[in-house]
Amino acid sequence: MNMTLETIFEAAHRESAVLFALDEVERRLHRLTAAREGLCARLAAHVIQAGGKRLRPLLVILCGGPGPDREPVLDVAVAAELIHTASLIHDDILDGADTRRGVPTINALWGNHAAVLTGDFLFAAAFGLLAGEQTRGAMALMTEAVQAMCQGEMEEGESLFQTSLTEDAYIAHIEKKTASLLAACCGAGALAGGASPETAAALAAFGRNLGLAYQIVDDLLDFSSDDCTLGKPANSDLARGVLTLPVIYLLQEGSHRAAVEEIIAGRACGPEGFARIKKAAEETAALAYAYQKALHFAGQARDCLASIPYLPSREMLLALAGRVVSRKS
């Protein structure tokens, strides 16, 4: 790319503005949890302080643009991380997971009762931040996304061990479960930053495709990585009966179809069953196929940016689409 000195300087300046905004999000998350009294805040701080990629606030900030009033964008960025964290706390209860972000989960340390309430506590804090006049559009997008997330989790739960699950149904589940929030972060950030409805819609479409790529890679990492690298239990999807893209591929592909179907239908997905299915995936194009799908959605995400005439964070959003598919954790 042919960058003049001015464009390099501008990019660096924008980047420091992004870093400043992310630091501010971190300070506010700390104030909402660690600096508050009560057991809910203390347990919430346990998860928030464990870190995380902060991808959702980053999307809000990048899509919020460099407008003069940063307050609504910061409110949406903090709310996005709170909603995401609440959803993970509830997800860990549903999954019976014992680690997240490299630390023990709330359900593992304090039980499901405390974990449900801590998730609700964060959830309420998020919507408190979105209740202002300037975040009305963001509020609408976020409530829609949360309803979609609940629906996605419900559908995933209903399809456990269902060997008839199609790729389209899988994509529909992950679109609701994961991509809806990333779409809302982009659209809500844009609206809070004063973008036109057209720009907000194009950015939401970027976020939706990014979210699909993100979840497919997440599912691939569950298949092929380890607890230590991920900071959460690996190889857990299949054990719980959640069929992801490599497995759906094997259930449709000739050579291993019958064996894989037998393991799953017989609910024999413990370590031995998992090892057999993983070997089958490695002997076929299952993993490459799923990765190609993730690349496809990352490409679609990049294409969504093309229709936006003025987008200061374009380069960073494009880079993010690349990072999502190359990540290892």
Q: Which residues bind Mg ion (CB under 5 A)?
A: 91, 95
153 binds ligand FPP per the rule CB under 6 A: yes
C-alpha–C-alpha distance, residues 154 and 89, integer Å: 16
Q: Is the Cα dihedral 38, 185, 190, 137 positive or negative? A: negative
The minimum distance between CB 87 and ligand FPP, in angstroms, equals 4
Residue 14's alpha-carbon distances to 63, 66, 253, 283, in angstroms, are 12, 8, 48, 46
What distances in angstroms separate CA 306 from CA 55, 193, 199, 309, one per listed residue? 22, 19, 11, 8
Per-residue interface string for the shown chain with ligand FPP, residues 182-221, x marking contact by CB under 6 A: ------------------------------------x---
Task: Show the tokens assigned to 171.
Answer: 């994509």
Q: Cβ 216 to ligand FPP, closest distance in Å?
A: 11
**Residue 190 is encoded by which pair of tokens?**
């844009």
Q: Which is nearer to ligand FPP, 75 or 218 (CB)?
A: 218
Query: Are 180 and 211 contacting, i.e. CB atoms less than 8 angstroms apart?
Result: yes
- Binding to ligand FPP in span 247-276, by CB under 6 A: none
* Binds ligand FPP by CB under 6 A, chosen from 61, 62, 123, 302: 123
Cβ proximity to Mg ion: between 81 and 95 the closer is: 95
C-alpha to C-alpha distance for 309 and 138, rounded to whole angstroms = 22
d(CA 128, CA 145): 16
Subset of 57-86 contacting ligand FPP (CB under 6 A)? 83, 86
Binder of residue 178, out of ligand FPP, Mg ion, none (CB less than 5 to 8 A by kind): ligand FPP
Closest CA to 53 of 101, 98, 103, 90: 101
Residue 123 near which of ligand FPP, Mg ion, none (CB within 5-8 Å, type-dependent): ligand FPP
Nearer to ligand FPP by Cβ, of 44 and 195: the residue is 44
Nearest to 61 by CA among 277, 316, 298, 302: 316
Min dist CB 175 to ligand FPP, Å, is 11
Judged by beta carbon distances under 5 to 8 A according to partner kind, the member of ligand FPP, Mg ion, none in contact with residue 119 is ligand FPP
Binding to ligand FPP in span 276-305, by CB under 6 A: none
Q: Which residues bind ligand FPP (CB under 6 A)?
A: 83, 86-87, 90-91, 95, 119, 123, 146, 149-150, 153, 177-178, 218, 222, 232
